[in-house]
Chain A
C-alpha cells in the first residue's frame, strides 16, 4: 500500500552565518539529492552577522524532512524552518521591462499596472519598466497580460517568506536543541 504523493512546492527559511562559502554549502544539499531550487533569496537579518536564506523546492514529506535535517547539521546553520503555507506570508518582487512602441500601448500597460498596484519605475520612449510585489498568483497574472506587448526583460528577487502571528524562526524548540547537541562546541568531545 503506497502512500499518496505529497510532492509540492515547499518554502524553507534558513538562518546562517553571513560568511563566504555558506550559501554554496546550503545549496549543495539540494543538488546532492537532485532537487532543483525553484526560488532562492538571501539577505542579512537585523543582525548583520546572520543571513536568512529562503529556498523553495518541489519535494514530498519524507524528502523535505531529510533535506531540512541535513541542513540543520551544518555548523554555519543556526536554524531551519519549514514554513507552513497556510500560516505564512510569501512575497517576491518582480521587475518587468515592456516594449511600448506607441503611446496607446504605454497607456494600456499603465492601466494594467494600476489595477495590480504595480509601480512604474522607469520609462523611455519605447519601453516601460514595472515593479510588482506579490505571490505567484498575482505576478503570473500580470505577466500573462503584458506578454502580448513584448516582455524585453523580467527579473524576480526570489520568494521571501515569514510566519504570521507571534511565531518566529528564533523560537526555541526541543528539536532545535537536539540538532545543536551533535554540532555544539560548548563541551569537549569524549
Chain B
C-alpha cells in the first residue's frame, strides 16, 4: 500500500499497539501532525512544553510497563526533550522519542531549527537513529521499539528528515511477531542467534548462590529498580520469605517489595533507615537484585558491606563490578533468576539476625509541627484517605525522600520518581503520563515549591484533558534539600536557597482553571483532600511545612553507610 512517510510512521506505531502519544508540533514535523488528523486510533496529548511530553511518555511507560512515545519538532523542540530522555535513560525507562529534522537538502547547513539531535542524545539513549530514506523508516521504527523494551530497557530516539515524511513508499503491515525476522532487525537477531549467546540464565551461577545463602547466617537482600522493571514483585516476595532475610529497598526499587512487609527495613543509602544501613554494615551475605550500587546507595564503595560476600543479580553485565566489587554475579532478568532460586532454595530461618536488624528503626519519627505540617503527618493523612493503589509521582528534593520513606508502595510502578538523574520538574509531566495510562487509578503528584515552579505550565495540559491529578506541594519557601546541605555542611550560609517570593499556588491553580487550597494542619489537609477527591478535576494542595525540617537519617556522600550526620 502506497503511503507517505508520515502515514507509515503512524501505521508502525499502531503495529506496536501505541494508542497514546505526547507531543508538540512544529515546522518539520507538520506532515506527521497532518497525517494524525486522519488517524482516529492514536490519541495525541498536546503538552505545554516538550519537556513535559518527554516526562509524560516516561510516566506512562513506568506506570503501564508499555513503551511511552513522544513527538517533537526539530531544533528547540527536540532539545527540550533532552532532560526527559536523560531522565528515562538513568532510570531504564522504555520510551521512543520521535523527532523530525530539516529536509535532506538542508541538513548540515545550519538551517532554521536544525540541530544534530542524534549527536546530542548519543550518551543518553540506548540507541538512536537518523532516517534519511523512506524505505528504511518502517524497519527503523520496528527496531527502535524492540531495542527500547528488550533486555535492560531505555530510551530510543528516531530523527526523521522532513522530506522522508512526505515521500511515498510501499508499506506492508507486519505483525510484531515477525519483526525479528525482517530487514535490519533480522540481521541484528541473526548476528546474536548463534547458540551460546541465546540468552539464558546460567544454572550453575544460581546453584552457587543457593549454596552461599545456605551457608549464610546474616543475609540481606536489596530490592532495586530491576525488580520493578521486570515486574518481579511476586517472585521477590516469595524469595524473601523463603530466604527469611531482611529486605532493604532502593529508591528505584520502591514497589518491588511491599513497603509494609515485616521483612522490610525501609530505604537504603544516603537517606536510608538506620535498620537498612546497619544491616548492610553487619550482614555476611548481601544479594542485590537490579541495583547498580549508585553513590546514593553505596556511599563509600570501599567500605560498603565490608563484612559480606556481595552478590549482584543484573540484566546488564556492564553493571557488574562497576561501582562495587562483588564476590559473585548472575546475569539475567530478575524474574527469571528469582524463579530459578525458588525452585532450588529450601526454607531458611534467620530469627536471631532479624531481631538484631529490626532493633533499629525502619522509619524516622518527627516532632509535631505546631503551626505547620510535618512530612509524617502529610503521609499519614494521604495514606488514610487515598486508595491503596494510588500512583505517586514526585519531583526531586526533600519531598521526594519523605515520600520514599513514609509512603508504602505495594506494586511496581506505584512510585514514579527520577532517581538516577534527579530531575526537578519531572513529577507533573510524569503524573499526566501515569493518569492517561491508568484512567481508573488515582494519581497524585507530590512536589516541593522549588520543583513545582519548574514545569507547573503542564497544569494547562492537566486541565484541558480533564485529568483529576492531585498536586501536593510540600511548601517550605526554600529549596529544602540544598538548604539542608547548607545547614549541615556549609555553616548555615543559605546561598540562593530562599524562595520567599512564591506565587500564590492556589491562585495559580485557579488561573489554569483548576482549584486548590492552602493547608497547615492535618484537619485542613483532610478537608482539602476530601474536596480534591470529589471535584473530578485537577486540584493543587499547598501544604505548609517548616523550612528547617530535614530529611533524616542522613549520611554524607562518600561516607561510610552508618556514619549518620542526622538521625
| B192 and A181 contact, CB distance less than 8 A | no
| A182 and B318 contact, CB distance less than 8 A | yes
Residue A150 at the chain B interface, CB threshold 8 Å: no
Interface residues of B in 281-330 (CB under 8 A from A): 314-318, 320-322
Mark A151-174 against chain B: 1 for CB-CB distance below 8 A, else 0.
000000000000000000000101
A70 CA to B322 CA, complexed, in Å: 9
Interface residues of B in 330-364 (CB under 8 A from A): 331-333, 335
| B119 and A189 contact, CB distance less than 8 A | no
State how many angstroms separate the Cβ of B118 from the closest Cβ of chain A: 7
* Interface-lining segment among A20-28, A109-117, A133-141: A20-28
State how many angstroms separate the Cβ of B280 from the closest Cβ of chain A: 23
For B317, give its contact among A49, A72, A186 (CB under 8 Å).
Answer: A72
A181 CA to B94 CA, complexed, in Å: 17
A71 CA to B286 CA, complexed, in Å: 28
Residue B383 at the chain A interface, CB threshold 8 Å: no
A70 CA to B122 CA, complexed, in Å: 14
| B180 and A186 contact, CB distance less than 8 A | yes
Interface residues of A in 50-69 (CB under 8 A from B): 65-66, 69
| A182 and B317 contact, CB distance less than 8 A | yes
State how many angstroms separate the Cβ of B64 from the closest Cβ of chain A: 13
| B119 and A188 contact, CB distance less than 8 A | no
Residue A92 at the chain B interface, CB threshold 8 Å: no
State how many angstroms separate the Cβ of A29 from the closest Cβ of chain B: 9
For B198, give its contact among A20, A25, A178, A186 (CB under 8 Å).
Answer: A186
**A25: nearest residue on chain B (CB-CB)?**
B122
Mark B170-209 against chain A: 1 for CB-CB distance below 8 A, else 0.
0000000000100001011101111111110010000000
A78 CA to B94 CA, complexed, in Å: 22
Interface size class of A (residues with CB under 8 A): 20 to 34
How many residues does chain B have at the interface if contact means C-beta atoms less than 8 Å apart? Answer: 48
Residue A187 at the chain B interface, CB threshold 8 Å: yes
For B318, give its contact among A69, A75, A172 (CB under 8 Å).
Answer: A69
| B197 and A182 contact, CB distance less than 8 A | no
| B147 and A182 contact, CB distance less than 8 A | no
A177 CA to B322 CA, complexed, in Å: 18
| B122 and A187 contact, CB distance less than 8 A | no
Residue A10 at the chain B interface, CB threshold 8 Å: no
Quick one: which of B185, B232, B318, B332 has the most chain A CB within 10 A?
B318
| A187 and B317 contact, CB distance less than 8 A | no
A124 CA to B230 CA, complexed, in Å: 69
A184 CA to B321 CA, complexed, in Å: 21
Residue B483 at the chain A interface, CB threshold 8 Å: no
| B151 and A184 contact, CB distance less than 8 A | yes
Residue A183 at the chain B interface, CB threshold 8 Å: yes
A120 CA to B150 CA, complexed, in Å: 55
Residue B126 at the chain A interface, CB threshold 8 Å: yes
User: What are the residues of chain B within 8 A of A175 when measuring CB–CB?
Assistant: 317
A118 CA to B60 CA, complexed, in Å: 64
Mark A1-41 against chain B: 1 for CB-CB distance below 8 A, else 0.
00000000000000000001100110010001000000000
A183 CA to B230 CA, complexed, in Å: 15
Residue B146 at the chain A interface, CB threshold 8 Å: yes
State how many angstroms separate the Cβ of B30 from the closest Cβ of chain A: 26
User: What are the residues of chain B within 8 A of A181 when measuring CB–CB?
Assistant: 151, 199, 315, 317, 331-332
Apart from A72-B318, A185-B188: 5 A-B pairs, beta carbons within 8 A: A28-B122, A180-B192, A180-B199, A186-B189, A189-B94
Instruction: Using CB atoms and an 8 Å cutoff, list the residues of chain A in contact with chain B.
Output: 20-21, 24-25, 28, 32, 49, 65-66, 69-70, 72-73, 75-76, 78, 172, 174-190
